[in-house]
Structure 1
Amino acid sequence: MKTVTFYVVALLCLVTTAMNAQSFEERATAISKNIEKITQEEKDALKAEVDAVNTQLEKGEITAEQAEAQKKELAEKRAKNIEERVAFEEDALAQLVKDKVDGKITEETRYLKFNFSNKKDTIRNKTGYRRTTSQFVYALGVNRMVKDGVAAEGFKWRSDFYEVGLTWNTRMAKNNNLLHAKYGLSLQYNNLRPDNNQIFVKEGGQTVLAPSGRDLDVARLRYVNLVVPAHLEFDFTKKKVDGEKVSFPTHKSVRVGLGGYAGVNVKEKQIIKYGDGNETKSKTKGDFNVSDFVYGVSAYVAYGEVGIYAKYDLQPVFNNNEIDYNNFSLGMRFDFN
Structure 2
Amino acid sequence: MQKIILYISIALLTLVNTVCAQKKKPESFSVQIEKVGYQIEFLSYHKKLELKQKIDSLETLHKNNKISLQEFETLKLKEAEKTAKFIETNLNNYRTQIDTIIQNKLNDENTKIRHKTDTIDGKEVIKYYNDNDYVEYNVPALKFYKSKKEKEERLSRRTTSQVVFAAGYNNLVTNNMVANSQFGYGRSGFWEWGVTWNTRLSNNSNLLHLKYGAGFMYNSLHATDNRVFADINNQTVLVDAGVETKAKRTYFKNVYFVVPMHLEFDFSKTKIVDDKKVFKSHTGARFGIGGFVGVNTNSKQFIEYEQNGYKFKEKQKGDFNVNDFTYGVSTYIGYRATSLYLKYDLNPIFKNNPVDQNNISLGIRFDWN
**Alignment-derived partner of residue 330 in structure 2:** 298
| 1:140–1:163 Cα contact (<8 Å) kept | yes
Q: Report the counterpart of residue 352 of structure 2 in structure 1.
A: 320
In the alignment, is the contact (CA less than 8 A) between 1:188 and 1:225 conserved in 2? Answer: yes
TM-score by length of 2: 0.61
Q: Unaligned 5+ residue runs, structure 1? A: 1-42, 48-74, 85-102
CA deviation vs aligned residue, 1:278-313 (integer Å, no higher than 9, x gap): 321110112211110000000000101001000000
CA contact (8 A) 1:79 1:267 kept: no
| Equivalent of residue 155 in structure 1, options 159, 183, 198 | 183
1:147-205 per-residue CA deviation (whole Å, 9 max, x = no partner) reads 12102532111100001011000000011100000000020000011111100000000
Residue 270 of structure 1 pairs with residue 301 of structure 2: yes
From 275, 279, 282, the equivalent of 1:251 is 282
1:121 Cα offset (Å):
11
Distance in 2 (alpha carbons) for counterparts of 1:203 and 1:312? 27
| Residue equivalent to 2:316 | 284
Amino acid at match of 2:228: I
Q: State the alpha-carbon separation in 1 of the partners of residues 260 and 306 from structure 2.
A: 41
Residue 367 of structure 2 corresponds to 335
2:250 to 219, 223, 232: 219
**Residue correspondence of structure 1 range 115-264 to structure 2 within 5 A:** 116=124, 117=140, 123=150, 127-151=154-178, 153-157=181-185, 158-217=187-246, 218-264=249-295
SS of aligned partner of 1:127: helix
Q: SS at 1:176's partner residue?
A: coil
- Please state whether the residue corresponding to 2:250 is helix, strand or coil: strand
- Mapped to 1, the partners of 2:239 and 2:298 lie a distance apart of 22
Residues 114 and 121, structure 1, Cα contact 8 Å, conserved in 2:
no
CA drift of 1:127 comes to 2.9
Q: Note closer, same or farther for the CA distance 1:215–1:78 as it changes in structure 2 (3 Å cut).
A: farther
Shift of 1:115: 5.7
What is the distance in 2 between the residues matched to 1:273 and 1:105?
Answer: 47
Instruction: Quote how far apart the aligned CAs of 1:244 are.
Output: 3.2
State the Cα deviation string for residues 57-87 of structure 1 (Å, max 9, x = none): xxxxxxxxxxxxxxxxxx8x569979x9xxx
Distance 2:245 2:355 in 1: 26
| Greater radius of gyration (CA) | 2
- Cα 1:267–1:80 change in 2 (3 A) is farther
**Corresponding position of 2:339:** 307
Does structure 2 retain, via aligned residues, the 8 Å contact 1:163–1:186?
yes
Which residue identity lines up with residue 285 of structure 1 in the other structure? K
- Secondary structure of 1:173's partner? coil
With a CA cutoff of 8 Å and minimum separation of 6, indicate the structure with the bigger relative contact order: 1
Q: Does the 8 Å contact 1:198/1:219 carry over to 2?
A: no
SS at match of 1:177: coil
Q: TM-score, normalised by structure 1?
A: 0.66
Mapped to 1, the partners of 2:340 and 2:52 lie a distance apart of: 30
- The one-letter code of the counterpart of 2:205 is N
- Alpha-carbon offset, residue 206 of structure 1: 0.7
Q: Secondary structure of the equivalent of 1:279?
A: strand
Distance in structure 2 (CA, Å) of the matches to 1:125 and 1:176? 16
- 2:36 is the alignment partner of 1:106: no
CA distance in 2, matches of 1:115, 1:109: 19
Return the alpha-carbon distance in structure 1 between the equivalents of residues 334 and 204 of structure 2: 23
